[in-house]
Amino acid sequence: MSEPILELRDLKVSITDQRDTQIIKGVDLKIGRGEVHALMGPNGSGKSTLATTIAGSPSYTVDSGQVIFKGEDITALKADARARMGLFLSFQYPTVIPGVTMVNLLRAAMKARTGTDLPPREFLVQLRATLETLKMDESFARRYVNDGFSGGEKKRAEILQLGMLKPDLAILDETDSGLDVDALRTVAEGVNALRTPEIGVLIITHYQRILNYITPDFVHVLVAGRIVRSGGPELALQIEENGYDPILQELGIAEEAVTA
């Protein structure tokens, strides 16, 4: 295997303002280019904490361990520096930005990502091509960011940003949250359309259903801040059928201790 795009080395993470509250308790993970990894786990197990920590959220502090991205230790880097390096996080609850169009957001984000301001014509060519790939109408890009958007539209807006920014690693934090079946399928088709051998993908999810549309190469189960199981797509199917209880029982973990 070539050098991983992302490597977590014995990562331990606490809430910044509550350093005695450790959420991530020693996670090791490697994601290669072209690979899709799914991180599953019960509510409160630390999935979103891990995702936002990788992205550089100041809400969490790395107590020990390392975050290695493209061979570089980025543990101490701020979120904007990580984003410029090619790390993308789609939010579980995207922010509404009234008065700012998707077009203006995308132009500003691309300038920050690449350090150059694309000529308007070249930018529009890329935007139209991405919209076509995602089967989205051009009018979508003229709307204010997430203002009046449905849950599915908010998630599609995130996927549009993913397509335009072309990151090296995309972290999708519970992209399936709150979506009906049709919206979920649409978002998943967009992700699949953007998959390339160069991008690594980490899908954070509680349920298996999004994995019916985006087939992962690897599935990991996070419980109480630790990865306790890793496997292929069949692991997600087992969880869908039996829930997390068999894993907790096998490990001797009480349900109330999952979030401890």
Could you report the per-residue pLDDT of 193-243, keeping only the tens digit for each?
Answer: 988 999 999 999 987 888 989 999 999 999 999 999 999 999 999 998 998
Looking up residue 28, the CATH number of its domain turns out to be 3.40.50.300
Identify the residue whose tokens are 């630790």.
226
Q: How confident is the model at residue 256 (pLDDT cuts 50, 70, 90)?
A: low
Say if residue 27's pLDDT is above 60: yes
Identify the residue whose tokens are 């989205």.
136
With respect to residue 11, please indicate whether it lies within any of the assigned structural domains: yes
Q: How confident is the model at residue 20 (pLDDT cuts 50, 70, 90)?
A: confident
How many domains is the chain partitioned into structurally? 1
- At 208 the pLDDT is 84
Q: Tell me the C-alpha distance between 235 and 219, whole Å.
A: 7
Closest by CA position to 151, among listed 187, 100, 98: 187
Say if residue 259's pLDDT is above 90: no
Q: Tell me the C-alpha distance between 165 and 89, whole Å.
A: 11
CA torsion angle for 86, 49, 213, 183 (degrees, to 10)?
A: -90
Pick from 157-171, 180-194, 207-221, 244-258: least confident: 244-258
Q: How confident is the model at residue 260 (pLDDT cuts 50, 70, 90)?
A: very low
How far from 105 is each of 141, 160, 167, 190, 246, CA to CA, in Å?
10, 11, 16, 19, 45
Average pLDDT, the chain: 91
With respect to residue 203, please indicate whether it lies within any of the assigned structural domains: yes
Say if residue 64's pLDDT is above 70: yes
With respect to residue 1, please indicate whether it lies within any of the assigned structural domains: no
Range of the domain at 42: 6-257
